Amino acid sequence: MLIIGIAGGTGSGKTTVVNQIVDELPEGEVTVISQDSYYKETSHLSYEERVKINFDHPRAIDFALLCKHLEQLRAGEAIQQPVYSFVKHNRTSDVVITQPRKVVIVEGILILTHPEIRELFDIKIFVHADSDERLIRRLKRDIAERGRDLEEVLGRYQNTLKPMHQQFIEPTKEFADLIIPNNRFNNVAIEIVRTIINQRLV
């Protein structure tokens, strides 16, 4: 099994890179796990309290569960991946049964901040994008898909996203085996990743 970690700031285009890699690989041999599924369970808090959580800080992520699940997959066991609601700011009661595959891709802004998780990655990738571009993408996504308004998104960006990016996410570039610019010049980097994966799949 090949486990690949793909990190980068919010709106950097991690999902686009993941899709570019997956689209060229044999169907049924790749599974993608999102860090967003592993936000900590917060049923003990009121909705008002959950809204105030800093979701861009590493302590918001249940890394212990993510680590356990990756180890189970590597051991050939299926996992029950949590399902998270960005509207309720909490896990739902649903789970996704995820089977082990030859390639497991884990994507998320904070996945390279955790030493144990980093050790489980065979390849560590950081997707880089200009901060203005990331903000624009975040605005579009949160308003269209997560029911946020403009003032809420901008406030969160200024107060948490930007400082958390500078404190926790940007420094994890140093752990990356490959830094991919999310622009029209990233094709070579994507092709390198595909080549490595295909060599391991043989």
pLDDT at position 80 is 96
CA dihedral 146, 7, 61, 22 (to 10 degrees): 70
pLDDT at position 98 is 95
The structure's pTM equals: 0.85
pLDDT at position 161 is 78
- Residue 85 · residue 13 · CB < 8 Å: no
Flag residues of the chain having pLDDT under 70. 132, 134, 144-147, 183-185, 202
CA dihedral 190, 196, 197, 201 (to 10 degrees): 150
CATH 3.40.50.720 is the classification of domain 2-201: no
pLDDT at position 43 is 85
pLDDT at position 165 is 83
- Residue 41 · residue 62 · CB < 8 Å: yes
pLDDT at position 196 is 85
pLDDT at position 20 is 86
